[in-house]
Amino acid sequence: MLFRLCRCLFALYTLAAVSYTTHFFIVAPLRSALSFIVTRPIPQLPGWPHVLHRRADEFVIADADHAIDLDALSQDDIVYWRSSDFTRQHGLGHEAPIAMPESLFLSKAFANSMKPSKIVPFFYRANSIFQKEDITITTLVTSNRFQVFARLVERYSGPISVTIHVKNTTKHVHELLDSLHALYLSSPKMATNVDVHLVIDAFDRQFNTWRNIARFFARTDFVMMLDIDFFPCTDFRGAILDSPAVMDKLRSGTAALVIPAFEYPVYQDGVDPSRFPRSKASLAPLVRDGKIGMFHASWAPGHSSTDYDRFMAAPEGEVYQVTGYQSAYEPYVVLKRDGPPWCDERFIGYGGEQGSVSVRDNHLYEETARRTERKYNRRIYSEFKEEACVRYLRMYGEEEERGRNARKESTRLACPLHGSLYPHRDIVWAADDVKTLLEPISQVITYDDNSRAEFLKNCKPGGKYDGVVGIFRDNTSADRIGIFDKQLIDGFPASLKWIAHNGAGYDQIDVHAAKAKGITVSNTPGAVDDASATTALYLLISAVRQYSLSERTLREGKWKPKGTNARAHDITGRTVAILGLGGIGLRLAELVHAFPMRVIYHSRNKVAHAPGWCEYFPDVEAMLKEADVLSVHVPLRPDTVGLVGEKWIRLLKPGSVIVNTARGKVIDEDAMIRALEDGHLASVGLDVYPNEPEVNPRLLEFPNITLLPHMGTENQDTQRKMEVRALTNLRDFIVEGKGKDVVVEMK
Give per-residue pLDDT as tens, 195-249: 988 877 665 555 656 666 787 788 999 988 887 777 787 778 888 888 887 888 7
Q: What integer pLDDT is reported at residue 295 of this predicted model?
A: 66
Residue 400 is among the residues annotated as catalytic for this protein? no
For 628-663, what is the HEC assignment?
CEEEECCCCCHHHCCCECHHHHHHCCCCEEEEECCC
Count of Cβ atoms closer than 10 Å to residue 59 Cβ? 22
Domain count, the chain: 2
Count of Cβ atoms closer than 10 Å to residue 55 Cβ? 8
Contact 276, 360 (CB under 8 A): no
Residue 632 domain-assigned (yes or no): yes
Catalytic residue among 58, 621, 692, 701: 692
Residue 25: alpha-carbon gap to chain centroid:
39
| Of residues 579, 562, 569, the one with CA closest to residue 544 | 569
Q: Which residues contact 34 (CB under 8 A, 6 or more apart)?
A: 70, 120, 173, 198
Q: Are residues 577 and 612 in the same domain?
A: yes
Whole-number Å distance between alpha carbons of 395 and 728: 15
Distances from the Cα of 445 to the Cα of 448, 449, 470, 728, angstroms: 10, 12, 10, 17
Whole-number Å distance between alpha carbons of 374 and 294: 17
Q: What integer pLDDT is reported at residue 82 of this predicted model?
A: 52
The H-or-E segment that residue 740 falls in is: none
Q: Are residues 519 and 588 in the same domain?
A: no
For residue 634, the enclosing domain spans 527-716
Q: Are residues 607 and 694 in the same domain?
A: yes
Catalytic residue among 197, 663, 725, 731: 663
Sheet architecture: strand order including 498-501:
420-423, 468-473, 498-501, 520-522
Whole-number Å distance between alpha carbons of 646 and 65: 89
Q: Are residues 663 and 678 in the same domain?
A: yes
Contact 576, 541 (CB under 8 A): no
In this predicted model, which residue has the larger pLDDT, 286 or 252?
286
Across the range 143-166, mean pLDDT stands at 85
The DSSP line for 522-582 is: E--TGGGHHHHHHHHHHHHHHHHHTHHHHHHHHHTT--SPTTHHHH----TT-EEEEE--S
The DSSP line for 148-161 is: HHHHHHHHH-S-EE
Q: What integer pLDDT is reported at residue 385 of this predicted model?
A: 33
Q: Are residues 678 and 739 in the same domain?
A: no
CATH at residue 457: 3.40.50.720
Residue 696 domain-assigned (yes or no): yes
Q: What integer pLDDT is reported at residue 279 of this predicted model?
A: 79
Q: What integer pLDDT is reported at residue 241 of this predicted model?
A: 87
Q: Are residues 497 and 582 in the same domain?
A: no
Across the range 135-155, mean pLDDT stands at 84
Tell if the pTM clears 0.85, that is, is over it.
no
Q: What integer pLDDT is reported at residue 205 of this predicted model?
A: 53
Sheet architecture: strand order including 598-602:
614-616, 598-602, 575-579, 629-632, 656-660, 681-686, 706-707
Residue 693 domain-assigned (yes or no): yes
Contact 593, 572 (CB under 8 A): no
Residue 335 domain-assigned (yes or no): no
| Banded pLDDT at 35 (limits 50, 70, 90) | very low
What angle is formed at CA 232 by the lines to CA 229 and CA 234, rounded to 5 degrees?
Answer: 165
Phi, psi (deg, nearest 5) at residue 297: -60, -25
Q: Would the pLDDT of 31 be above 90?
A: no
Q: Are residues 501 and 597 in the same domain?
A: no
Q: Are residues 696 and 548 in the same domain?
A: yes
| Of residues 118, 161, 119, 121, the one with CA closest to residue 139 | 161
Percent of the chain with pLDDT over 70: 66
Q: Are residues 571 and 516 in the same domain?
A: no
Strands 358-360 and 230-232 come out as antiparallel
Q: What integer pLDDT is reported at residue 454 of this predicted model?
A: 92
Strands 256-258 and 333-336 come out as antiparallel
Residues in the chain, overall count: 747
Q: Are residues 567 and 483 in the same domain?
A: no
Sheet architecture: strand order including 230-232:
230-232, 358-360, 261-263, 293-294
Query: Nearest 10 degrees: CA dihedral of 310, 315, 317, 321?
Result: -30
Whole-number Å distance between alpha carbons of 503 and 469: 20
| Banded pLDDT at 499 (limits 50, 70, 90) | very high
Tens of pLDDT, residue by residue over 550-566, are 888 888 888 888 777 77
Q: Are residues 456 and 588 in the same domain?
A: no
Residue 658 domain-assigned (yes or no): yes
Q: Which residues contact 660 (CB under 8 A, 6 or more apart)?
A: 631, 632, 666, 667, 684, 685, 686, 687, 688
Residue 710 is among the residues annotated as catalytic for this protein? yes
User: In whole numbers, what is the pLDDT of the chain averaged over residues?
Assistant: 73
Residue 294 domain-assigned (yes or no): no
In this predicted model, which residue has the larger pLDDT, 542 or 62?
542
Residue 316 is among the residues annotated as catalytic for this protein? no
Q: Would the pLDDT of 712 be above 80?
A: yes
Whole-number Å distance between alpha carbons of 62 and 338: 32
| Banded pLDDT at 178 (limits 50, 70, 90) | confident
463: Cα within 13 Å, side-chain hemisphere: 19
Q: Are residues 622 and 740 in the same domain?
A: no
Residue 484 domain-assigned (yes or no): yes
Residue 575 domain-assigned (yes or no): yes
Catalytic residue among 452, 710, 736, 745: 710
Distances from the Cα of 206 to the Cα of 110, 171, 383, 698, angstroms: 10, 21, 12, 66
